[in-house]
Amino acid sequence: MRHLRRRSRIGGAVASALALALTLSACSSPALVEIDLPAQTDGPLPTETVEQLQDAVTHAMAAFGAPAAIVGVWAPWSGEWVQGLGTQQPGGEGAAVSADLHFKAAQVTRAMTCDILYSLVAENVVALDDPVTKYVSGVADLTDITLGQLCDGTAGIFSYSGQLLRSWLANPERIWNPHELASYGLGLGRVRAGVAYRNSDASYVLLGLALERATGSSAARLIDEYITTPLALTATELPSNSAAAPSPMLKGYLSRKDSKGVMNCADPRDITRLSTSTGFTDSGVVTDIHDLGRYAQALAADAIVPAGTDRLEGALPAGKNAPSWFTAGGGVFQAGSLVGQYGSVPGYATAAFADPSSGLTVAVVLDNSGGGARSALMLAWQLAAIASKAPAASGQTTPEAGLPWTAEKYQDAITSAAICPLQ
């Protein structure tokens, strides 16, 4: 990955947070991390670009039954667009959605967990080739699985979330022990490690447990120390065994099929209060759109990991039928020139990607997870394609590099994947 030497900025709210954090850091906190990306042009994106972006978001909201969405798009050469769309309740009811609401970051948490791993490796606390059994008890059959494989998603371990959804819906506020979560994934057996990327929540929960044991610190504290404090992510945290979501919170919904196979788009289930303990170091972090965009930029610029770290070295296809430009490694994905993460938990689908060269950044959350993780991914890629064509502001130059897809491609893909009727 290239390390550029120009400073990035996401909006006035983040700039204020940075100034405050810098004042505090002079007394007691670690120095702020500077993200070396092209500086953001002040001002909004052009009206025509914003209209295209808004049309794409509202189309995705309709397709996936999301009463609301929060979106951030930053094109350094052109402008920015940060917006909450829709309302807190289905059918246009409830309060209008603000861009300042919190939401669950889903699998973006994985990247943070790997950031911590790489930092601890540099500090000689752990090693990438350490077996997970060195730190986690009760997993004696995982002697051949390393911390690095857990981070890369190549440990061959299955997921627990599909098995537990019914239990979560029945008792959403229950606090789950991460050992118990991982055991459900491990109970399904394993496939050969080191061969292919596997979307495994249990892998990142095990990695979090190992890092806690190696450091004697909680995962929540590690994320604060290595991620949120250095980056001044003032709205981001891993709640410590709490069922209560931070406030103010974007409501999260889940559409499912009824006994007749019809998706309940008009009356999705409110699952906002599902405990974040169900995700732990796989998907338990809560954030807002400003922090999510800044974190995507940090990932793209390798701002947090120690110098010389190449988390995407040896990256593997992101799936069996993934295009050649879509790969996974080190807790992140690379899609063309974009680097980031995406995923879903009950109630929310999120995606956040940034370009290490142009600085183009897109962060999105849809508040209905019925369409799965790809609902947010497809929307993020569509928005990135639209924003990549945004005209340059006065004195700026539009980057020449393009993306290996078009906005139209993912408009059509979203239409095809819709879980709700489109008019």
Percent of residues, the chain, with pLDDT higher than 70: 91
Confidence of residue 213 (pLDDT cuts 50, 70, 90): very high
Structure tokens, 201: 């929540």
Write the burial class of residue 179 (CB in 10 Å: 0-12 exposed, 13-18 middle, 19+ buried).
Answer: middle
Confidence of residue 240 (pLDDT cuts 50, 70, 90): confident
> Who's near 296: CB < 8 A, 6+ residues apart?
339, 340, 341, 352, 353, 354, 361, 362, 363
The H-or-E segment that residue 270 falls in is strand 269-270
Percent of residues, the chain, with pLDDT higher than 90: 88
CA distance linking residue 294 with residue 299, whole number of Å: 9
Q: What 3-state class would DSSP assign to 182?
A: helix
CA distance linking residue 101 with residue 234, whole number of Å: 13
Whose CA is closest to 287, among 223, 368, 376? Answer: 223
Question: Would the pLDDT of 12 be above 60?
Answer: no
What average pLDDT is seen over the chain?
92
Reported as a single tens digit per residue, the pLDDT across 253-264 is 999 998 888 899
Is position 6 within any domain? no
Question: Would the pLDDT of 208 be above 90?
Answer: yes
> Structural domain tally of the chain?
1
Angle ∠(64,67,72) on CA atoms, nearest 5? 85
Is position 423 within any domain? no
Whose CA is closest to 238, among 129, 106, 387, 118? Answer: 106
CA distance linking residue 33 with residue 7, whole number of Å: 10
Structure tokens, 266: 């008009």
Whose CA is closest to 119, among 195, 179, 30, 186? Answer: 30
Reported as a single tens digit per residue, the pLDDT across 274-313 is 999 999 999 999 999 999 999 999 999 999 999 999 999 9
> Who's near 288: CB < 8 A, 6+ residues apart?
70, 99, 100, 101, 102, 103, 235, 236
Question: Would the pLDDT of 1 be above 50?
Answer: no
Q: What 3-state class would DSSP assign to 200?
A: coil
Reported as a single tens digit per residue, the pLDDT across 397-419 is 999 878 999 999 999 999 999 99
The H-or-E segment that residue 152 falls in is helix 147-152
Confidence of residue 30 (pLDDT cuts 50, 70, 90): low
Is position 422 within any domain? no
Distances (CA, A) of 222 to 34, 210, 239, 418: 19, 12, 12, 38
The sign of the torsion formed by the CA atoms of 275, 277, 282, 287 equals positive
The single residue listed with the structure tokens 């009811």 is: 93
Q: Which domain holds residue 49?
A: 11-417
Structure tokens, 90: 């289905």
**Residue 242: Cβ within 10 Å count:** 16
Is position 4 within any domain? no
CATH (domain of 32): 3.40.710.10
What was the pLDDT predicted at 318?
98
**Is there a contact between 218 and 241 (Cβ–Cβ < 8 Å)?**
no
Is position 383 within any domain? yes
